Chain A
Amino acid sequence: QKEVEQNSGPLSVPEGAIASLNCTYSDRGSQSFFWYRQYSGKSPELIMFIYSNGDKEDGRFTAQLNKASQYVSLLIRDSQPSDSATYLCAVRNYGQNFVFGPGTRLSVLP
């Protein structure tokens, strides 16, 4: 069974700090990896995606992928209270459908 695992949190960080969110996946056939943000009562919205091993940066966000370890992470620099949300990791294989993790709740404290 294909699984994506995340710590449910909550992860609390002070404003201005780096938040580090982690995700592991079981299917070695996974091809692409996604991070979504979901505010309470709202729908998920895509933050960024990554295909290749290494780092990918987009503004304050950096996604890191290590396929050998089946591990993907999201770093949020200079965290703001508005970053407080649930962060969902998702993976996609050749089948084109997405498998989501349970999400990690992040709380950025002013």
Chain B
Amino acid sequence: GAGVSQTPSNKVTEKGKYVELRCDPISGHTALYWYRQSLGQGPEFLIYFQGTGAADDSGLPNDRFFAVRPEGSVSTLKIQRTERGDSAVYLCASSLAAGAETQYFGPGTRLLVL
């Protein structure tokens, strides 16, 4: 079947604006992860969902960041009052279950805050 998809692939916004990033996981995958990757760095964990609930949101940097997964499938990462430091590639990954070894990453959304 299809892999993990993310939209948009690129997003340019102005400082202070609100953005939403969408992730469509592989069908049937109950675990979904969000990461942020800056240039030259590894992915930085933000939040993970098991089903509809956020099982661990300890990586969200502050209260401007929020994520939802209302029906246990598609997830949206929401960033309020964007700052230039939020510029990064936002990666989503899904796995069959929370303990599964294999995460499948989406292509990412490249966010640029001007």
Residues of A within 8 A of B (CB): 4, 8, 32, 34, 42-46, 49, 88, 90, 95-103
Contact, CB under 8 Å: A44 / B43: yes
Contact, CB under 8 Å: B42 / A101: yes
Q: Which of A45, A46, A96, A100 has the most CB of B within 10 A?
A: A96
How far apart sit A96 and B55, CA to CA, in the bound complex (Å)?
A: 9
> Within the complex, what minimum Cβ distance (angstroms) separates B43 from chain A?
5
Residues of chain B contacted by A32 (CB below 8 angstroms): 101
Residue B77 interfacial (CB < 8 Å): no
Contact, CB under 8 Å: A99 / B98: no
State whether A98 and B105 are in contact (beta carbons under 8 Å apart), knowing that A44-B43, A103-B42 are contacts in the complex: no
How far apart sit A44 and B105, CA to CA, in the bound complex (Å)?
A: 7
Residue B59 interfacial (CB < 8 Å): yes
B 36-95 contacts with A by CB, 8 A = 40-45, 48, 55-56, 58-59, 91
Contact, CB under 8 Å: B44 / A43: no
Residues of chain B contacted by A102 (CB below 8 angstroms): 40-42
Residues of chain B contacted by A90 (CB below 8 angstroms): 42
State whether A45 and B56 are in contact (beta carbons under 8 Å apart), knowing that A96-B99, A97-B45 are contacts in the complex: no
Chain A to chain B contacts (Cβ below 8 Å), 27 pairs: A4-B42, A8-B40, A34-B101, A43-B91, A44-B91, A44-B105, A46-B101, A49-B101, A90-B42, A96-B31, A96-B48, A96-B55, A96-B56, A97-B33, A97-B45, A97-B56, A97-B59, A98-B33, A98-B43, A98-B45, A99-B45, A100-B35, A100-B44, A101-B42, A102-B42, A103-B41, A103-B42
Residue B108 interfacial (CB < 8 Å): yes
With both beta carbons as reference points, the residue of chain B lying nearest to A46 in the complex is identified as B102
How far apart sit A98 and B32, CA to CA, in the bound complex (Å)?
A: 12
With both beta carbons as reference points, the residue of chain A lying nearest to B108 in the complex is identified as A43
